[in-house]
Structure 1
């Protein structure tokens, strides 16, 4: 019995974020270290939210806290690879969102890694979950997986 999950394709993602690997991303094994993929995910998500004016990271009343993340590594990448991080929303709740992400070497159809990332939106002061505002919900809804 095959228990391996199906690998996503570039066409599964409605949004992409370009990322250039850096010399320091490589580890002693000459590939990008596993922890760096989480920074790629964080960059792709927050870049999209900031670019769409639905997250003010410095002064907004609402902030997104990461409560869960994971990554499945499929093939190695290394400096100086140029990457594209695919982004979609797999679950949209009242105050939380689950993103599905994939790291592609520029131009590749299959990802080098796939992951997920869960944001819970909270009040900056109380750190308690709050319902997403309509503008944020609309931006995230446009990324929902079919």
Structure 2
């Protein structure tokens, strides 16, 4: 599975991520996906504070395969499943330290003008970075 994703980040869990059942609550995985994607976007040149284009999440999904508990960390892999004119589908895989698949999900961003919120093309430099993570 590691070879299926072009970008990896280690994500530690926090005490507050555990729920009453003793495992990381399902909603936390969405925050982890958002953190992974936005870290990559910033590293790839997106100006989240002043850029004219921003990405808005219009769809997200997660399939849970196994559980994780604090203080475990997980490795989060990122790839691009689809790159459109103004939208992108990020695909994420979460792995435990031993390689067990914890979850797989996706996030769809539509890039819009920061002020008008009208769709715009994925910024050129960012499009190039995304192409590097695009799966066939």
Q: TM exceeds 0.5?
A: yes
Counterparts of 1:104-143 in structure 2, within 5 Å, are 104-108=95-99, 110-143=100-133
Q: Could you tell me whether the CA contact under 8 Å between 2:53 and 2:123 is conserved in 1?
A: no
Structure 2 residue 81 is matched with structure 1 residue 90: yes
Structure 2 residue 67 is matched with structure 1 residue 80: no
Q: Distance in 1 between matches of 2:98 and 2:41?
A: 24
Query: Secondary structure at the residue paired with 1:29?
Result: coil
Task: Specify every segment of 5 or more residues in structure 2 that has no aligned partner in the other structure, as ranges.
Answer: none
Query: Secondary structure at the residue paired with 1:114?
Result: strand
Counterparts of 1:1-146 in structure 2, within 5 Å, are 9-53=1-45, 55-108=46-99, 110-146=100-136
Moved >2 Å (runs of 4+): none
Q: Aligned residues, how many?
A: 136
Match of 1:3 in 2: none
Q: Distance in 2 between matches of 1:15 and 1:34?
A: 23
Normalization by structure 1: what TM-score?
0.90
Task: Specify every segment of 5 or more residues in structure 1 that has no aligned partner in the other structure, as ranges.
Answer: 1-8
Normalization by structure 2: what TM-score?
0.96
